[in-house]
Structure 1
């Protein structure tokens, strides 16, 4: 069964689709990334959020005047990557709701489309009908931008003076035009009307910029402003575009719940972060009574006992808070190359709605322990800091010949980059009061400056077909294999309390795993003395306060 069939199975569930991943209130990471769809910074600013393993790129277009800002580039790239008909499989975004982020991208694009419709009217009435004047003004604007980009103050001053001189000459030219009649009036209008259109466009752009900034700030302030995307709700069976969008969102939610993940060498498990610690208990299986054999058991028997005990992690002998309720899940891990640009999810009769079935998980746990193929891991996952920190402890049990090995590894995914948590800066200027000159007051500046009005107005007529704008102005290229969370995740070790939480989680999990496993061994007649001694030794080693790069083998 392929991806399309998996989607169909999930898609026809009746009723509203309720987000399934993450606990209530874990919205900080989701809102931080969703706010990027409303931002008005330069697109290149997102490069500051690149991490060690995953790097975005901003491709330049033919003309910088058509270049998108951060919000436009982000919303367009995420929408195409997450909902495109020919998209590649996605990496899960733990600790957040990717569907909510995509919905905000769609909502931001809708707001900009409405603005661009009005700006297109302005460009037709005040630009296209007076094309010669518009071209002259655009030429002057392009020259000014090229000079300013050189960061030469003297050249910038000369360019400004030249623009003023040209303006004066334009006024003189209008008064004493050598051509009379209808042509003379058209030439006058071609010089004046584009300027009037600029003022009209500025009012439209200012109104939209205020709306976008309000949504940006509301998301980061905890307001949780909703994303309105009426086009995702089909009104009739014939609305194929709305139906496809609805199915795309349903497929995105289903893939987010997939129980298959990918190990990319030093990059760790994609979506869970790199492996910072590894503890292995490996001892010989010897009967507890001489002359008798141990009772036969399988790896799944040990894993099932560990699974049951991990459910009790949130309980403790003292009323001191302790662990929140963890997410405990069986994972199928597929190996991929460190520099792989795409992943391929398991398919076939053993997969339904992106989920590997239970009996196949059990088979992999018992049989695929050596050589090629997917592996089974039992994971206990804590989502902390309002979704900003994801701690995952993975347990795997292998039996080779007469040796039982229980391995516990720690993975930590840090908060999204601080770029996404920055609120909009108020555009104000401090000036001295006219009478009490020793005091200052703040004067509000326009949210949209002169250059931005020109950029928006020039782009507007082309927004009906986004690929044209991608070619003319450039676009944001997302890192592959792509997942919203790990693409812009920072290291948790830079935050003292987050690092403490990751390190503290390892010891109790390790002890519960060993305790449950040793109990199974005792029940099956295995001598557990060596296992107990080794467990005690590991219990001491796990308290080492330093995380390591366990996925990087220094050989």
Structure 2
């Protein structure tokens, strides 16, 4: 729950990388904040639910890398003052990912502070020379592209000519005295500044890569964000802490959004659906049926689902599931934002109590939100989220019990790749028919120039966004479903999703039929239909249940 009162809690200093059993997905996404490499790689990780975009840079010299773009985009989207609401990220802790983005930005800011000082000393005092060097590097990047490509014969010839002219200029200067010395220093001083900047960049790159590797290795790398610890009411740190608390409140909201063919955002598409619908007929026509509500059936199902981990045999089985009441709100398939109607931050983004029962009992037909009872399993260290939803409706004399299956697979493999030392393959000197791997510097010359050129502008990020482009996150945004794969490509994950359907369906039917018996309903037809569905569900296969063919 988000409050406006002052809180001295340490907040973001807790060195955890995710909740118990959910560290893999959390660590994978958090590691993106520390990564290097081209930002365009994120486009490969787009899922069927969302598509992220990269705004092209005006000058490739100011283009951000993957980690810089990801950390800034996530921080602005999740902690911005006027941001839209977020979609829940099941199977992970989004607050931990955001804290790592803050920590990564802080590390880079410390590096950029040092680089800005170097640019002030070697850049402002020798500005013409710096501009010449930057122009040469920008020309090379324009010819070769921002990434590691060769510039071709024409580009190489142009760079050789420019280098020769520069050398000739230094030898045959038209000036003497002070200006002669200055013009020579003008070309040499930026090289000295570059060498110092390279040492700073290498230390930071090593730190970032260690954190990247530690998160994927499960080493419990903590996100240190001291600027999120408030020292006075109304301070920037207090606002940041409140933003993190709001993020946590949204994560534990029980309102989700159904987006047509994209399914329930954050839970994945609906891959299976089973319906039990029969008329309510009194077991004893002389006595009739005892009045009951849909909520009474849901309560009985809820109590039985909480016992799923118990069994007659001691052979493992289900882990303890999460059983929750959900309110599903419809949005357009291509909606750009979501809103939790009827809830406020003070209520913790929750719908509960009498309002939850009212939705369950009354909003079963026509416009409005719908109530679902969900049992959710977070498996594979957070990489697989299985959700089975149950809804009970009563129209005229027909009671309908519907069970649907949703599955959200692992995060894209891009986020689970560990850092590798830069190297290149070359031919051996003597045995030229054989090759060997030669290590390369962690930060090459082009990268040092890029970081040094960006450093003075990092104090006002909108300028960098204008010059170097930026990452545009997909909307409606949720950290998990934005870069999630389907589970069906992983044999064991697919098996787990399919196996969960049968016992959940049977428990739902048994609990519902028991309520009907207790209230004087003839359950013969319900029992026969439940047996038929019990046979069908044993041959469960993933389908696109949210796509209806005409």
- Measured against the shorter chain, the TM-score band is over 0.9
Q: 1:492 to 1:529 in 2, by over 3 A?
A: same
Shift of 1:215: 0.7
Verify the 8 A CA contact 1:11 1:247 in the aligned structure 2: no
3-state DSSP of counterpart to 1:60: coil
3-state DSSP of counterpart to 1:171: helix
Q: Distance in 2 between matches of 1:151 and 1:39?
A: 15
Q: Which residue of 2 aligns with 1:458?
A: 453
3-state DSSP of counterpart to 2:402: strand
1:111 and 2:96 are equivalent in the alignment: no
Verify the 8 A CA contact 1:9 1:353 in the aligned structure 2: no
Q: Distance in 2 between matches of 1:251 and 1:228?
A: 19
Verify the 8 A CA contact 1:21 1:257 in the aligned structure 2: no
User: What 5-or-longer segments of structure 1 have no aligned partner?
Assistant: 1-5
1:128 and 2:129 are equivalent in the alignment: no
3-state DSSP of counterpart to 1:127: helix
Q: 1:148 to 1:300 in 2, by over 3 A?
A: same
Shift of 1:178: 1.6
Question: What are the residue-to-residue correspondences of 1:101-500 with 2, within 5 Å?
Answer: 101-149=97-145, 156-237=152-233, 240-347=235-342, 352-429=347-424, 442-500=437-495
Q: Deviations over 1:87-139 (max 9, x none)?
A: 10100000000000000000000010011111111111112211111122222
Verify the 8 A CA contact 2:275 2:401 in the aligned structure 1: yes
Q: Distance in 2 between matches of 1:152 and 1:62?
A: 19
Residue 517 (structure 2) aligned to one of 514, 522, 547? 522
Q: 1:349 to 1:158 in 2, by over 3 A?
A: closer
Q: Distance in 2 between matches of 1:469 and 1:153?
A: 24
3-state DSSP of counterpart to 2:328: strand
* Residue range with higher mean Cα deviation, 350-359 or 314-323: 350-359
Q: Distance in 2 between matches of 1:59 and 1:283?
A: 55
Shift of 1:206: 1.2
3-state DSSP of counterpart to 1:334: strand
Q: 1:218 to 1:554 in 2, by over 3 A?
A: same
3-state DSSP of counterpart to 2:318: coil
Q: Deviations over 1:32-61 (max 9, x none)?
A: 000000110101000000012210000113
Verify the 8 A CA contact 1:22 1:94 in the aligned structure 2: no
Q: 1:550 to 1:412 in 2, by over 3 A?
A: same
Shift of 1:160: 2.5
Shift of 1:167: 2.7
Verify the 8 A CA contact 1:265 1:337 in the aligned structure 2: yes
Q: 1:134 to 1:505 in 2, by over 3 A?
A: same
Verify the 8 A CA contact 2:273 2:545 in the aligned structure 1: yes
Q: 1:152 to 1:482 in 2, by over 3 A?
A: closer
Instruction: Give me the CA root mean square deviation.
Output: 2.5
Q: Distance in 1 between matches of 2:149 and 2:258?
A: 52
Shift of 1:159: 2.3
3-state DSSP of counterpart to 2:479: coil
Q: Distance in 2 between matches of 1:150 and 1:496?
A: 39
Q: Which residue of 2 aligns with 1:3?
A: none
Q: 1:21 to 1:11 in 2, by over 3 A?
A: farther
3-state DSSP of counterpart to 1:549: coil
Flag as ranges the 4+ runs of structure 1 deviating above 2 A.
9-23, 149-155, 157-173, 235-238, 346-351, 428-444
Q: Which residue of 2 aligns with 1:506?
A: 501
Q: Distance in 2 between matches of 1:408 and 1:76?
A: 40
Residue 78 (structure 1) aligned to one of 74, 80, 83? 74
Q: Deviations over 1:269-326 (max 9, x none)?
A: 1110000000000000000013221111000100000000001100111111100000
* Residue range with higher mean Cα deviation, 289-298 or 92-101: 289-298
Q: 1:167 to 1:349 in 2, by over 3 A?
A: closer
Q: Distance in 1 between matches of 2:71 and 2:10?
A: 28
Verify the 8 A CA contact 1:20 1:257 in the aligned structure 2: no
Q: Deviations over 1:142-163 (max 9, x none)?
A: 2222222399999623423432
Q: 1:454 to 1:349 in 2, by over 3 A?
A: closer
Verify the 8 A CA contact 2:17 2:26 in the aligned structure 1: no
Q: Which residue of 1 aligns with 2:86?
A: 90
3-state DSSP of counterpart to 1:251: helix
Q: Distance in 1 between matches of 2:368 and 2:155?
A: 65
Shift of 1:19: 12
Verify the 8 A CA contact 1:383 1:391 in the aligned structure 2: yes
Q: Distance in 1 between matches of 2:112 and 2:19?
A: 38
3-state DSSP of counterpart to 1:339: coil
Q: Distance in 2 between matches of 1:526 and 1:85?
A: 55
3-state DSSP of counterpart to 1:479: coil
Q: Deviations over 1:505-531 (max 9, x none)?
A: 000000000000000000000000000
- When normalised by structure 2's length, the TM-score is 0.95
Shift of 1:168: 3.7
Q: Distance in 1 between matches of 2:34 and 2:345?
A: 41
Q: Distance in 2 between matches of 1:332 and 1:10?
A: 29
- When normalised by structure 1's length, the TM-score is 0.94
